[in-house]
Amino acid sequence: MTAASGRATRPLDWRHAAYPYALLILANFFWATNWIVGRGIHEAFPPAALSFYRWLAAGLILAPLALPRLRGKWHYVREHWWLFLILGGTGVATFQAIIYVGLNYTTAVNATILNASTPLLMVLMVWGMEGTAATRRQWLGMAVTFCGVMLIVSRGEWRNLATLHFNTGDIIILVTLPIWCFYSILLKRRPMAIDNIGFTFVVTLIGLSALSPFFAYEEIFVRTPVWSWGMVVAVLYVALAASIAGYLCWNRGVELVGANAAGFTYPFQPAFAALLAVFVLGEPFRLYNALGFGIILVGWLLTTGLRAPRR
């Protein structure tokens, strides 16, 4: 009985351990597509407008699902209004708007390189805010993962890194990283009585409110978006993938494993961006793509261990 039951429960434990990381890696895939779309339409869509319409569409899609779940639970929002205000203002409004501003001045490649430093920043902020330090194995895993990112970015030739140029847009992107880490660390403090869909809807409403004055200013004094059917599809895709699916996966993953472990999945973004360039833009798949992705995977396994949680 014991041997049979042990064999029966082992796959369940493995799946239980892998589930939150699958969500987090999937979120990074959706956000990798967001970098590409955001950079691709930046000339037609100013940053505040793209962020506003993206979250407006996400809110309208989420509303029929979220409102029934929030029935009788709005008092939790009122009791934790300060937390919802911070999470909506950082994770939805400020973070996304600044990213789109930065993509007006830099490339998606540079942006994903800078995002590869998120695990390090997450570790430092978690240590500063919660006193939880990274282990030696996690530091080693972060170093290995960063090497994998650099292999992909350099296209297998390390001397190509010398040709990379960083500019004002990269500094703007760097500003977003601590904002996102702050959002992720605070996620564990949200009231669990409100489920993931209801929570995402509430912070979407708050983020839209925070974005509104910047959107109005941009519309009146800067420029307005150039609409076309292609732009409609792009905005709807970003709303569905990067806003709804990405945030639902990330929020749930952070809830299960914490911000520190979640941050270790961030280097998958440049790996996914490189793969998207192969399948979407028709770029050839090279050996360095496979090697870089494999190194990132090894580094991530070092940082997480993918061990089943203790019962």
**Is 153 within a domain?**
no
pLDDT higher at 289 or 85: 85
In the block, tokens 């205000």 appear at 85
232: how many CB neighbours lie within 10 A of its CB? Answer: 12
Mean predicted confidence (pLDDT) in 174-201: 91
Q: What is the largest CA-CA distance in the chain?
A: 74
Q: Hunting for tokens 């699916």 — which residue is that?
A: 245
Rounded Cα gap, residues 183 and 122, in angstroms? 11
What's the token pair of residue 41?
A: 């339409």
Structural domain contains residue 231: yes
Whether 189 is in a domain gets the answer yes
Residue position matching structure tokens 């001397």:
159
301 CB burial (10 A radius; 0-12, 13-18, 19+): middle
- Predicted pLDDT at 132: 81
d(CA 104, CA 223): 13
- DSSP, res 137: H
Give the pair of three-digit tokens for residue 44.
């037609």
Amino acid identity of residue 184, one-letter, is S
Kindly write down the DSSP assignment for every residue of 144-196, as one continuous string: HHHHHHHHHHTTT-GGGGGG----HHHHHHHHHHHHHHHHHHHGGGS-TTS-H
Residue 89 has pLDDT above 80, yes or no: yes
Whether 148 is in a domain gets the answer no
Please, are residues 88 and 211 in contact by the beta-carbon 8 Å criterion?
no
Between 170 and 196, whose confidence is greater? 196
Q: Which two tokens stand for residue 82?
A: 């300060």
Q: Is 13 a domain residue?
A: no
Report the chain's mean pLDDT, rounded to a whole number.
83
Structural domain includes residue 63: yes
Q: Distance between CA 89 and CA 86 in Å, rounded?
A: 5
How many residues make up the chain in this entry?
A: 311
Q: Is residue 2 part of a domain?
A: no
CA distances to 17, 71, 73, 205 from 77, rounded to whole Å, are 31, 12, 7, 12
Report how many domains make up the chain.
Answer: 1
Give the pLDDT confidence score for residue 274 in this predicted structure: 73
Q: Look at the alpha carbons of 14, 292, 166, 27 in this order and tell me if their dihedral is positive or negative.
A: negative
* Average pLDDT value for residue range 34-56: 87
pLDDT of res. 240: 95
Q: Is residue 144 part of a domain?
A: no
- Domain holding 210, by residue range, is 20-134+165-257
Q: What pLDDT digit, counting tens, does each position of 103-133 carry?
A: 778 776 677 677 777 888 888 898 888 878 7
Q: Which residues neighbour 291 within 8 Å (Cβ) at sequence distance 6 or greater?
A: 148, 151, 156
What's residue 5's pLDDT? 44
φ/ψ bin of 21: left (φ > 0), alpha (ψ from -120 to 50), beta (otherwise): alpha
pLDDT class for 3, splitting at 50, 70, 90?
Answer: very low
Q: How far is CA 4 from CA 7, 48, 239, in A?
A: 5, 58, 46
Distance of CA 129 to the CA centre of its chain: 21
Give me the helix-helix angle, 47-70 and 229-238, nearest 10°: 50
Calculate Rg over the CA atoms of the chain.
20
